[in-house]
Chains A and B, each alone.
Chain A
Amino acid sequence: MSETSESAFVEFERVQKSYDGETLVVKDLNLSLPKGEFLTMLGPSGSGKTTCLMMLAGFETATNGDIRLDGKPINNIPPHKRGIGMVFQNYALFPHMSVAENLSFPLEVRKMGKSDREAKIKRALDMVQMGAFGGRRPSQLSGGQQQRVALARALVFEPELVLMDEPLGALDKQLRETLQFEITRLAHSLGITVVYVTHDQTEALTMSDRVAVFEAGRIQQLAPPAELYEKPMNSFVAQFIGENNTLEGVVTAIEAGECTVKLDSGDIISALPVNVSAVGDRTKVSIRPERVEFNPERMRDGTHTLDAEVLEFVYMGDIFRTRLRVAGIDNFIIKTRNAPDQVRLKPGEQIKIGWLPEDCRALDA
């Protein structure tokens, strides 16, 4: 992933960061994104997302490695000269200034004339539907309104790169969804490059062009959302993104495009070898709940099937969520769509389940 393509706008190359000189918070980060991309950094708490963002913004210096913006190393450029817009989790709107003054601030420090400023402020506020609130103080706004203003402030001086650190973390679900949509719309219409940090995977999947999954200071996978969900490259990503069933076992045969795994329970299944290299490797096999089939008619011939016992059936409106005991584990989940012809399994029922080998990914143990 360490390609240094010509078109790269933001580039991290072998970046390391340590706060205390003992532990690396960011380990060997390589990342490059082209102009106009919406990249999300997703990962559990403490995985180093904010640290990466702060290094990019200039508030932390990389202990080692290079960060380049538009091809130029920025290690020695102070934050205020980087021209990067930032949106903070706590909004960081200046409490002693009105909304309009907050927006005017970046323009004033750029010595812009009054009439230009006013035009730009108006445009930016209209962009986030806050045109009527210019005279208010931040404390007189709701959380969602404050976040809109923070967004407008980060965009008003027309930066090419905008960084957002969990900007929607403090908002309720509905508002988050509205703002997620607005942010992506704005980012695409303005053509800006966005690096967005979140630990909400839905947010990451719905908003981004690409998602970088962080764990312990390393990027575990960098891919578009669909690929990330459907083709996780390792068991951390598979488990971190979406719901996932995991079965453990040993690879007994491996050939191009398919391998056979002997589960710890003794059952044999076929899977797609992703992260296994040789016969005898231990592996975690991952299957998405919605890719599991239990209707024998729809199973491909020669599919390995497993016996399962229904433990619990949960009606969730649009889908049914059924918990099974399979191969010795009793939290195997399947999800089925609520269609008129859909079978509703009953607890205690004995069924056979199967799946396409390419949906069943043999990952690292």
Chain B
Amino acid sequence: MTDASAPENEVMLTSDGRSLKSSLNRALRREKIRALLLIAPLLLFIILTFVAPIVDMLFRSVENEIVGNTLPDTVEVLAEWDPETGELPSERAFEALYADLFLAAEAKQHTRLGSRLNYEQSGISSVFRSSGRSLDDVGELTQDVLEDLDPAWEEASFWYGIMQGTGDPANGLLKSRRDRLAALTTEDMSGDIGFLPGSDISVVLPRTAAAYSDFAIFTAIADEDVVSEEEPWEGVYAAIGLDLQDPALREGILAYDGPGAAQLNAALEAELPVINYREAMIEIDDGWADLSNWEVIKTYSPRYTDGYFLNAIDMRNGADGAEWRPENEQLYLTLFLRTMLMSLAITFSCILLGYPIAWLMANLPARSANLLMILVLLPFWTSLLVRTSAWKVLLQQQGVINDLLVGIGLLDDANRLVMINNATGTIIAMTHILLPFMVLPLYSVLKTIPPSYLRAAKSLGATDWTAFWRVYFPQSVPGIGAGSILVFITAIGYYITPEIVGGTKGVFISNRIAFHISSSLNWGLAAALGAILLTLVLALYWVYDRLVGIDNVKLGG
């Protein structure tokens, strides 16, 4: 509607000036709005079910927030670490790792991160899993000493008193800890928790205040317990151990006179165990002594990563940027190539089989043409699974076709043909399934080519073949184009048939995508593979447009 009105507008403008144009526009606007309203439901539907998932998929393929969300402090400290030096990260990095991991373990998120990083570095997931189990022991070292010193440290209310303080609440601290937990657990962490960290104490004992706030938020919201009645978890003891041994905080602690000041001062003077977090972590799991594990954490710490895409083309982020994966881990490029080649083969065999059918349908009298049309459409009335499984019956080594060939003596019983669970099987079954998508557009184009062209060509002296090849065929190219696009694009993303009859040599990239979506749960990689597939299709479409011209694609007269 808008298209049709455009040239009119121009004419109006040149002949009668602006006023006519604007009044015409006003007259057309109502129609445009009505037209828009009519397509609005479809548009909405398409945006919600088609555009949005694609955008989400594209986002997932580069999204990498899990590392930063799970180990925020570690990532921050690691920013200054240079793996080139060949040394493990600093003690501070290990301290941060302990705190981050402790929280992650409480939220049961450390294994998720482990699985995520395992895509990049196999074996790292067990490091995370086993670390999660033993983190408590480290905190207990300080806890035991403190509790021996003064039993008050065992009391939930005592802790609550110190941390709540009496002065102004440190709202900023609480908010930032809430955000951090929300990012970690991907759950909503807002709501009253019956606790506000005191602003005094959060200056005097910053690590402890943060750790206790985490504990409080988690206790109140995730566990739905009362904060003042729960003894803090070991991570808080580990934090206070670090605070009390931090020379920079000593002055402040001595000057502190809020709740629990006496116990704090006593603890300051007492001999608290000095914990070397590097050694402690390495003792928990010697994976932490492995430089490459730290390297992976550092490499994948940004919020966005090209790692999935590199993986999808058999590469990875190495020490000097992107590098090829070792031969035995390469997989996807071969799969992409195979998917393309087999889709081409399928498209081609669809043309070969479909053209004569479409030609017959276009040239037979209506009654027989309708019968043929029903035969072509018949596969649509049967379940895809049934059709594919039928091919299994036909093609397998003890199947109908092999039996027949052996039966009539064309084939020796010992060398029955292998036609299923390989590329041949996939091509045969998919050609059958996609044939209607070739025949229908082809038929609708062939039907519009008047027979008089062929007659004219013959009357001009062309043989049947020349007349077909030089006159009829070129005019059917738009139909072939439309059919090929339909078949090729459908084939390239096909999943069920290759899964059933493809074996290992006949599976497509989409089977791999499905595997990552439903089995390995590596959605990022699946999304990257999908994005590459999408790009490939668009690129091919563009090439096709260049070569054939998309205007030349006809789905009907």
Contacts and interface: CB of A to CB of B under 8 A. Distances in A.
Interface of A: 57-59, 78-86, 88, 90, 92, 94-96, 105-106, 109-110, 153-154, 157, 163
Contact of A80 (B452, B462, B475): B462
Interface in B452-496: 452-453, 455-464, 466-467, 470-471, 474-475
Given A94-B471, A95-B475, A96-B474, A106 B452 contact: no
B471 A79 contact: no
B321 interface: no
B474 A109 contact: no
Contacts of B458: 58-59, 78-80
Given A80-B463, A88-B452, A90-B452, A105 B457 contact: yes
A95 B478 CA distance: 13
B86 interface: no
Given A95-B475, A96-B475, A85 B459 contact: yes
A86 B459 contact: yes
B409 interface: no
A282 to B, nearest CB: 44
B151 interface: no
Contact of A79 (B452, B459, B470, B475): B459
B471 to A, nearest CB: 5
B460 A105 contact: yes
Contact of A57 (B457, B459, B461, B466): B459
B446 to A, nearest CB: 14
B41 interface: no
Interface centre among A57, A79, A84, A95 (most CB of B within 10 A): A79
A109 B469 CA distance: 12
Contacts of A86: 455-456, 459-460
Contacts of A96: 474-475
A84 B460 CA distance: 7
A84 B459 contact: yes
Given A88-B455, A94-B471, A96-B475, A105 B450 contact: no
B460 A109 contact: yes
Contact of A92 (B455, B461, B462, B474): B455
Given A88-B452, A92-B456, 18 more contacts: A57-B455, A78-B458, A79-B455, A80-B461, A80-B467, A81-B461, A84-B459, A86-B455, A88-B456, A90-B450, A90-B452, A92-B452, A96-B474, A105-B460, A105-B471, A109-B460, A109-B461, A153-B460
B453 A94 contact: yes
Given A96-B474, A105-B470, A80 B453 contact: no
A109 B462 contact: yes
Contacts of B457: 94, 105
A304 to B, nearest CB: 54
Given A92-B450, A96-B474, A110 B461 contact: yes
Nearest to A92: B456
A90 B456 CA distance: 11
B3 to A, nearest CB: 21
B474 to A, nearest CB: 5
A198 B464 CA distance: 29
B97 to A, nearest CB: 70
Interface in B300-321: none
Nearest to A79: B458
Given A88-B455, A90-B450, A92-B455, A105 B474 contact: no
Interface in B423-473: 450, 452-453, 455-464, 466-467, 470-471
A94 B474 CA distance: 10
Nearest to B470: A105
Closest 9 CB pairs of A and B: A106-B460, A92-B456, A86-B459, A92-B452, A79-B458, A96-B474, A80-B458, A109-B461, A109-B462
Contacts of B471: 94, 105
A157 B455 CA distance: 16
Contacts of B475: 94-96
B456 A157 contact: no
Contacts of A90: 450, 452
14 contacts: A59-B455, A59-B458, A80-B461, A80-B462, A85-B460, A86-B460, A88-B452, A90-B450, A92-B456, A94-B453, A94-B471, A105-B471, A154-B459, A157-B461
A95 B459 CA distance: 17
Contacts of B464: 80
Nearest to A165: B452
Nearest to B459: A86
Nearest to A85: B459
Nearest to B473: A96
Contacts of A109: 460-463, 466
A336 B462 CA distance: 55
Contacts of B474: 96
A291 to B, nearest CB: 43
Contacts of B453: 92, 94
A215 B304 CA distance: 85
Nearest to A95: B475
A179 B453 CA distance: 23
Contacts of B463: 80, 109
A192 B463 CA distance: 24
Contacts of B455: 57, 59, 79, 86, 88, 92
Contacts of B461: 80-81, 83, 106, 109-110, 157
Nearest to A83: B461
Query: Which of B467, B470, B474 counts the most chain A CB atoms within 10 A?
Result: B470
Contacts of B456: 86, 88, 92, 94
A153 B453 CA distance: 13
Contacts of A84: 459
A84 B489 CA distance: 47
A82 B471 CA distance: 19
Which of B456, B460, B470, B474 has the most CB atoms of chain A within a 10 A radius of its CB?
B460
B76 to A, nearest CB: 67
Nearest to A89: B452
